Structure 1
Amino acid sequence: MAPDEPASAVSYSAAQEALARCREYRKLNGLYGVVEPALGRIMLEVGAVGALTMPAALGGRIREQLRDRDRYGPIIGHPRSGRWTFLTDHADDSIQDMTILGELFHRGATLAMPGTRIVLPSPADERTGYRVWIDAPTGDTRPTLTEVVTLTRTYRYA
């Protein structure tokens, strides 16, 4: 920020960039998020889109397995925490199975429940490296939640 530039102008600019990116996500990727104006975050409610977060090391293995099957999908990286979030198709019955949830927990993975919100990378996030795309969305293609959960369960512990 320039010394003579007011903080509100930066906030306004970040919010405008987030709105433009949010429109892209909606139009091109079927990710119907909303912008939280105060912070310029792009929020996506879990439901029609599922989300599974795990340690980056485990995520790298899952990503390789999906690629071997020609199943690509968006993956959000959280560099500071060393975690990745896989975006999937809609949430399914696995979200209610305590055995599956327990197995995921022991691998350091968490399944986002319907109605919770996740944050999609905004231009401001990407500039700071706070939240980035490991694999950016391409169209509205996403792996099934079942695929990602099943692959995650095949690994012992992260």
Structure 2
Amino acid sequence: MTQPAPAWLRELAAARAHYEETFGWPVAVQVGQRQLAVALGQVLDAITMPAGLADQVNQQLGIAMLSGPVIAHPDGGRWTFLTQAATMMRGDLVDGLDGREVRHAGAGAYTVVPTESGDGGWRWISEPRPHQMLPSAYAVIATARRLCAASAAA
């Protein structure tokens, strides 16, 4: 006799199907961690930075009508911007921002995406919307660079 899947696993499977059907994201269930992760490098990439800088970047992207999905990490200290895949990248996209703890995760990496239950502490700062164009990774990095340069000059 087989047992039905536990409720948490059924919830993850339903959330995975939602992300894949609604947004076309390549999402995987990480059973051991009881979370979902999206593969980066083909459909989307991710830019992670400290929450304080990320909040400013998110506000500026909103003003420029370039905002997209943003995820808060469980520690609350970092946010991740989901972006278009940076396919034509030369060199390191975040050169010069290492001291500001700005990181680009692209091909071969994964990032966690929140689920309804909020298990694990991952949560949406800005939820994705159907048919929403993701911001360019370059726009997110350029905005972070501009804000960092302005704070250094002040």
The answer on whether the counterparts of 1:21 and 1:122 sit within 8 Å (CA) in structure 2 is yes
Over the matched positions of the two proteins, sequence identity in percent amounts to: 27
1:74 to 66, 69, 75: 69
Q: Could you tell me which amino acid in structure 2 is paired with residue 43 of structure 1?
A: A
Alpha-carbon distance in structure 2 between the residues aligned to 1:90 and 1:36:
22
Question: 2:19 maps to which residue?
Answer: 25
Counterpart in 1 of 2:101?
Answer: 108
> What aligned pairs does 1:1-158 form with structure 2 within 5 A after superposition?
12-47=6-41, 48-94=43-89, 96-98=90-92, 100-124=93-117, 126-127=118-119, 130-139=121-130, 140-156=132-148
Equivalent residue letter for 1:102: D
Cα 1:107–1:93 shift into 2, 3 Å: farther
Provide the TM-score with structure 2 as the length reference: 0.84
Secondary structure of the 1:70 match is coil
RMSD of Structure 2 on Structure 1 (CA):
2.3
Structure 2 residue runs without a partner (length 5+): none
Letter in structure 1 aligned against 2:34: G
- 2:100 alignment partner AA: R
Aligned-residue offset at 1:79: 4.2
Return 5+ residue gaps in structure 1 as ranges: 1-8
Alpha-carbon distance, 1:37 to partner = 2.3
How many residues end up aligned between the 2 structures? Answer: 146
The runs of at least 4 aligned residues of structure 1 exceeding 2 Å deviation read 37-40, 91-94, 155-158
| TM superposition shift of 1:108 | 1.3
TM-score normalised by structure 1 residue count: 0.82
In 2 relative to 1, CA 106–89 (structure 1 residues): closer, same or farther, beyond 3 Å? Answer: same
What CA distance in whole angstroms lies between the structure 2 residues aligned with 1:113 and 1:142? 15
More helix per residue: 1 or 2? 1
Whether the 8 Å CA contact 1:15–1:39 is kept in 2: the answer is: no
